Amino acid sequence: MEKILFQCDYNEGAHPSILRRLAETNLEQTPGYGEDVYCAQAAEKIRLSCGDDSLAVHFLVGGTQTNLTVIDAALRPHQGVLCAETGHINVHETGAVEACGHKVLGLPSRDGKITAEDIRKACESHRDSDSFEHMVQPGMVYLSNPTELGTIYSAKELQKIYEVCSEYGVYLFLDGARLGYGLAAPDNDLTLPLIARYTDVFYIGGTKVGALFGEAVVIRNEALKKDFRYLIKQKGGMLAKGRLLGLQFDQLFTDGLYLELSSHAIRLAERIREAIDEKGWPYLVENRTNQIFPIVPDEALEKLGERFCYSYDHRVDETHSAVRFCTSWAAREENVEALCAAIREV
C-alpha cells in the first residue's frame, strides 16, 4: 500500500481548472517572457485584489528564485537582509542570497516571527556601533507569512514593522509562498490590500496553493519597480512561455479560487489539530495554518509512519520528536480522516 503524503504542500500537480485552461489555450500563439495578454490580465486581477492600481506585478517560477531576485534587486553591495534565524532564506536556500553577495542577518526567534522591536534594536545597534562601516548594513527586512513554523503576523504587527522599516530606510519584503494559508486562517486579520500597503514588496505563492508552479511578485515601492525585469532575466527566472504563469494566476484570481483552495487546506488542518488535541500532544508552536507541528511520542510516530509520510523536525527528548504534517489545496478528506483516525488510535 502506497503511503499517504503529509510531509509538504507540493506533492500534487495543479487545480484541475488550471490544467484545463492550459489545455484550452495550448496552441494559441503568444509573445514570450511575460509580455502576453494572460500575464497582463492576471496582473490586473491581482492589482484589483490588492486595491491599488499602481502596483507592479511580475510572475516568477519558484520561491528561492523569487527571494534572491527581489533581495538582490533591492540591496547595495554592503547591505544585508534581516530575518528570523529560522527564515527560509537563512536556512533552506543553499545560500542563494549570499551567492548574490549579501549577508543574511539572522535574528533569534522562537516561533518564526520577528517583531518591530527586534528590527529597531538591530538597526539601532548598527548605527550606534563605533565601527559600523565594518559591519553589514541592514538594507531590508524579510518576513515570511505564514512563517516556516506556520505562524502569522497580525495586521497591527505588520503595520508596526513597516513603520520601523520606513523610519530606518530599510525595505520590507514579505515572502508569501504560503500566503493563502495565512489569509484563510481563522485567527488572521490581514488582507491583500493591507499587505500591499504595509510592505515594499511581497509575493503571492502559487506553487503551494493550487498552481503547478509560480509566484506573483507585487511591488509597491517605486525604487524597486525600476528595471526589475532585467533582474528576473539575469537570475534565470524569466520563463520563455511566460503565459503559463499568467494563465495560472489568472485562474487562481478568478471567482475567489485562491482563497477557496486555501480554506480547504485550513479546514482539513483544523481536523487534524482536533485529533491531536484529543490525544493531548503538545505543539512545538501553536498556529492555525496548514502546517501542524505536534510533539509526538516516538512509538506513536513509528506507528503513524507505516501509513503516512510526515516531515521530521527534531528530537525533543529521549522519547519525543517534533514533526510536521501539512495539508494543502489538494488534500483529500478521506486521507485526512484516515490520519485523524490513526492518531486517535495510536
Site for a second copy in 215-234 (CB under 8 A): 227, 229-231, 233-234
Region 238-257 residues binding a second copy, contact defined as CB under 8 A: 238-241, 244
Name which position in 48, 51, 95, 186 contacts a second copy (CB under 8 A). 95
Residue closest to 56 by CA, chosen among 155, 194, 169, 196 = 196
Region 171-190 residues binding a second copy, contact defined as CB under 8 A: none
Name which position in 160, 220, 235, 324 contacts a second copy (CB under 8 A). 235
- Smallest separation, CB 13 to a second copy (Å): 4
Question: Would you say 185 and 152 are in contact if contact means Cβ atoms under 8 Å apart?
Answer: yes
Name which position in 43, 57, 73, 272 contacts a second copy (CB under 8 A). 73
d(CA 214, CA 237): 10
| Segment contacting a second copy by CB under 8 A, of 102-110, 249-257, 291-299, 317-325 | 102-110
Contacts of 234 (CB under 8 A, 6+ apart): none
- Smallest separation, CB 262 to a second copy (Å): 17
| Segment contacting a second copy by CB under 8 A, of 130-138, 147-155, 275-283, 338-346 | 130-138
Q: Which is nearer to a second copy, 129 or 319 (CB)?
A: 129
Helix crossing, 16-24 with 243-252: angle to 10°?
Answer: 140
Name which position in 40, 103, 163, 342 contacts a second copy (CB under 8 A). 103
3-state secondary structure 4-60: EECCCCCCCCCCHHHHHHHHHCCCCCCCCCCCCHHHHHHHHHHHHHHCCCCCEEEEE
Question: Would you say 188 and 24 are in contact if contact means Cβ atoms under 8 Å apart?
Answer: no
Interface map 24-53 toward a second copy (x if CB under 8 A): -xxxxxxxxx--------------------
- Smallest separation, CB 42 to a second copy (Å): 16
Contacts of 315 (CB under 8 A, 6+ apart): 321, 322
- 342: helix, strand or coil: helix
- Smallest separation, CB 316 to a second copy (Å): 16
Region 291-330 residues binding a second copy, contact defined as CB under 8 A: 311-312, 330
- 285: helix, strand or coil: coil
HSE of 327 in the Cβ direction (CA atoms, 13 Å)? Answer: 32
Name which position in 108, 131, 280, 318 contacts a second copy (CB under 8 A). 131
Region 186-215 residues binding a second copy, contact defined as CB under 8 A: 207-208, 212-213
| Segment contacting a second copy by CB under 8 A, of 85-93, 151-159, 179-187, 293-301 | 85-93
Q: Which is nearer to a second copy, 51 or 95 (CB)?
A: 95
Query: Helical H runs in 59-198?
Result: 63-74, 88-91, 96-99, 116-128, 155-168, 179-183, 192-197
| Segment contacting a second copy by CB under 8 A, of 89-97, 153-161, 266-274, 319-327 | 89-97
Helices vs strands, H then E, count in the chain: 15, 13
Contacts of 59 (CB under 8 A, 6+ apart): 34, 39, 42, 43, 214, 215, 216, 217, 239, 242, 245, 246, 249
Q: Which is nearer to a second copy, 66 or 199 (CB)?
A: 66
Looking at the DSSP assignment, which residues form a beta bridge with residue 84? 107
Name which position in 116, 136, 257, 323 contacts a second copy (CB under 8 A). 136
- Smallest separation, CB 329 to a second copy (Å): 11
